[in-house]
Amino acid sequence: MSAATDIAFTPPELSTPRSQLLLVLADDELVTGHRASHWTGVAPSLEEDMAFSSIAQDEINHADLWYQVLIGLEVSGHAQRAAVDALGLGRAPDEYRHAIACERPPRDFAFTLARHWAYDRFDAVRLASLTTSSDEDVAAVAGKLQFEERYHLEHADQWFTRLTAGGDEALGRFREGLAVALPEALGLAEPFEGEDEAIETGLLPVSHPDLGARWLEIVAPLLAAADLDDLVPDEVPDEASGGRLGRHTTDFTEDVWPEMTGLYRAHPGARW
Amino acid sequence: MTAPRPMTTTLLDAVRDAVAGVPDPELPPVTLGMLGMIHDVTVGDGGDVRIELLPTFAGCPATEIMERDVVEAVGAVPGAGRVEVRFRFDPPWTPDRIDATGRERLREFGIAPPGGATGAPTADGRVTLPLMLGPASDPRPCPYCGSSDTVRESNFGPTPCRDVRFCEGCQQPFEAFKA
C-alpha cells in the first residue's frame, strides 16, 4: 500500500562516476556497520554494546540513504526498497567499493577502537567536503549525516584520549591496534574508477587522495600529542589496497559478504 | 501561491492538520507537526495530495511507520484523493525544529528536550545547522526534578535520537533527545 507512488524503475547504471562515488560512500558505511554489529551482545560493557549496536544501525542506514541517492530520490515505496536491497545485498563481492580497512574483523576491542577512530576521522573529513558537492542530493545528505556522525566521532575521540592516557596495557594494546589500522585506513583515500570526471563536474569536491592528506593533517598532530608520532602512516600495505576497485580479501568474500547477503540470496525478492 | 479557491484552501487546511496530528510511533505524545518534520503540503485540483517530510534520524525505524500513518490520516480527510509522501533532505531536519509544545511533551515523557532555538526555520532554501556547532554533550536539566546537576553517561541510547544521562540531584538515569 503506502504512498502508491511506485514508479516504473530501471536498475541504475553502476559504471558512471556518480554511481561509483555513491557505492564508495554507501559500501564503506554498510561494511563498517556490519563489522560494528559483531559486538552486539559481546562488547566488554553494556554501554559499549549499546554504542556499537547503535553505530551499526546508524551506519547501515546511512548506506541505505546513499543507495537511495544513487537510485534517485524520486523513486519511492516498494520500488525504492527493492532497489536498495538489490544494491546493498544483491551484488557480487567484487562489485563492492568499500576500502579493505572496513572489512577487517573486529579482532580485540583495542583494534576495533583504533579502526573506529581512523575511520570516523576520515569520514568526518569526507562528509565536510561533500557538503559542497555540485550534486544537490549528495550535498544535502552529506550535511544530514555530518550531524549524526558527530556522535560517533565524539565516541571514538573519547576512547582515543582515554586509552592514550591510560596505563601500559591500555596504551600498549591500543598502539598495536593503531599500528595495523592506520596504514590500512590509507586505503580509504584511494580513488575510485572515474574519480577524475567526478572532480571535474564538482560532484566530488576533493579527491580521495587529497582527503587522505587532509585526514593526515588532522590525525598526525593528535598522534604526536599522544607520543605516538611513529605511528603516522605513510603508505597503504599492498594487502589493504584496491578496495575502491573491487578487490577484497577473504575477510569480506568469505566472512562479511556471505553472512550479510545470506538471507537475501536464500529468499530472492523477500520483503520485510 | 495566488488566491486559491476557498474550497481548496479548506481541504489544504484539513490535510495539513491531519499530517501535523500524526503521532510519532515511538513517542506518541509528540506529533509530526510538533517535531517540525513537515516541509510542504500541496493539494492538486483533483484533490491529490503531495506531502514532503523531513526525516529525523537516518537510522530511525519509525520513518516507514510514519509514512504509512500519514497516508492513512490524510486518506481519511473527506475530499482528499491520491496521497503521495516524499522524504527530502534539504533542508536537513535538526532537533531545533521541535516546537515549544513538542519540547514540553518530551520532557513530560521523561526525555530531556534539546535546547537551542525553537520553531521550524523557514523553508526557503538551505538552512545552517545551528546545533551542529555545539558539542553533542550540551547540558540538560533533569526532566524529573529539574536539577541542572546532570551528566551524560553515553552517546548512545535506546533509539538513534536519544542519549543517556544521569541526574545527581534525584539519582535517576534519564534520556535526552540528541541535539
Work out the pLDDT band at B7, boundaries 50, 70, 90: low
3-state secondary structure A33-50: HHHHHCCCCCCCCHHHHH
User: A64, B92: Cβ pair inside 8 Å?
Assistant: no
Work out the pLDDT band at A5, boundaries 50, 70, 90: very low
Q: How far is A170 from chain B (nearest CA, A)?
A: 21
Nearest CA in chain A to B93: A144
Question: Rounded distance, CA A195 to CA A217, Å?
Answer: 22
For A160-169, B50-59, B111-120, which range has the lowest pLDDT when averaged over its residues? B111-120
Average pLDDT value over all residues in chain A = 94
Cβ-proximal residues to A110 (8 Å cutoff; 6+ apart), any chain: A163, A170, A173, A174, A176, A177
Work out the pLDDT band at B6, boundaries 50, 70, 90: low
SS3 B123: coil
- Chain A from 118 to 137: CB within 8 A of any B CB: 136-137
Give first-to-last CA distance, chain A, whole Å.
14
User: A140, B89: Cβ pair inside 8 Å?
Assistant: yes
At residue B84, what are phi and psi to the nearest 5 degrees? -120, 125
Predicted local confidence at residue B125, as pLDDT: 38
Beta strands B83-87 and B49-53, pairing class: parallel
For A99-103, A223-227, B134-138, which range has the lowest pLDDT when averaged over its residues? B134-138
* Mean pLDDT (whole number) for B65-71: 94
Residue B131, pLDDT > 70, answer no
Whether the upstream peptide bond of residue A258 has omega within 30° of 0, thus cis, is no
Residue A3 contacts residue B87 (beta carbons within 8 Å): no
* Dihedral Cα A88, A94, A99, A101, nearest 10 deg: 100
Cβ-proximal residues to A98 (8 Å cutoff; 6+ apart), any chain: A24, A27, A28, A30, A31, A32, A243
What share of chain A in percent tops pLDDT 70? 96
Predicted local confidence at residue B126, as pLDDT: 35
What share of chain A in percent tops pLDDT 90? 87
User: B92, A147: Cβ pair inside 8 Å?
Assistant: yes
Predicted local confidence at residue B121, as pLDDT: 39
Beta bridge partners, B163, equal B176
Predicted local confidence at residue B2, as pLDDT: 54
Residues of A in Cβ contact (< 8 Å) with B160: 54, 57-58, 61, 148
Q: pLDDT digit string (tens) for A168-187?
A: 999 999 999 999 999 999 99
Q: What length does chain B have?
A: 179
Residue A24, pLDDT > 70, answer yes
Q: pLDDT digit string (tens) for A195-233?
A: 999 999 999 999 999 999 999 999 999 999 999 999 999
Question: Rounded distance, CA A185 to CA A98, Å?
Answer: 11
- Return the higher-pLDDT residue of A220 and B57: A220
* Mean pLDDT (whole number) for A99-111: 97
Residue B15, pLDDT > 60, answer yes
Average pLDDT value over all residues in chain B = 83
Work out the pLDDT band at A8, boundaries 50, 70, 90: low
Work out the pLDDT band at A9, boundaries 50, 70, 90: low
Work out the pLDDT band at B96, boundaries 50, 70, 90: confident
Q: Is A162's Cβ below 8 Å from some Cβ in B? A: no
Predicted local confidence at residue B122, as pLDDT: 39
Question: Rounded distance, CA B179 to CA B136, Å?
Answer: 6
* Mean pLDDT (whole number) for A229-258: 98
User: B155, A143: Cβ pair inside 8 Å?
Assistant: no
Interface ipTM: 0.82
Q: pLDDT digit string (tens) for A134-150?
A: 999 999 999 999 888 98
Q: What is the pTM of this model?
A: 0.89
Residues of A in Cβ contact (< 8 Å) with B90: 136-137, 139-140, 143
User: A151, B87: Cβ pair inside 8 Å?
Assistant: no
CB burial of residue A247 (10 Å; 0-12, 13-18, 19+): middle
User: B87, A4: Cβ pair inside 8 Å?
Assistant: no
- Return the higher-pLDDT residue of B128 and A45: A45
Predicted local confidence at residue B127, as pLDDT: 37
CB burial of residue A98 (10 Å; 0-12, 13-18, 19+): buried
